[in-house]
A = this chain, B = another copy of it.
């Protein structure tokens, strides 16, 4: 409930995070189950630090983008991945390039829908003005 502080390290309970991001504790535990979070424990109780919190934020951003949890997990792996071998690195860059392409496609899609909605909106506005006039 109250934020736990310990040597200038901000710590959070599962309830803290569920309130902050307006999700259920069930969801947070599920993300852990799927390997996307790994809070420490104090006894049985989960303790989340700043990094965990950022991860959770990233998970939710991914969801807004229509990423599956598995996809978001793969992105996490990309960040944490072993960058020691050239082979690793180039297969990694291929993945990055692919993701970038998907996202660019998504950008185009969104812009298209936005234009259509703008169109529809001004159309509605027009009819409305005529109606109330």
Contacts and interface: CB of A to CB of B under 8 A. Distances in A.
Interface residues of A, number: 38
Interface in A82-106: 83, 86, 89-90, 92-93, 96-97, 99-100, 103-106
Contacts of A128: 86, 89-90, 93
Interface stretch (A2-10, A19-27, A32-40, A109-117): A109-117
Copies in the complex: 2
Contact of A105 (B64, B107, B132): B64
A114 to B, nearest CB: 5
A43 interface: no
Given A86-B131, A121-B93, A121-B97, A113 B109 contact: no
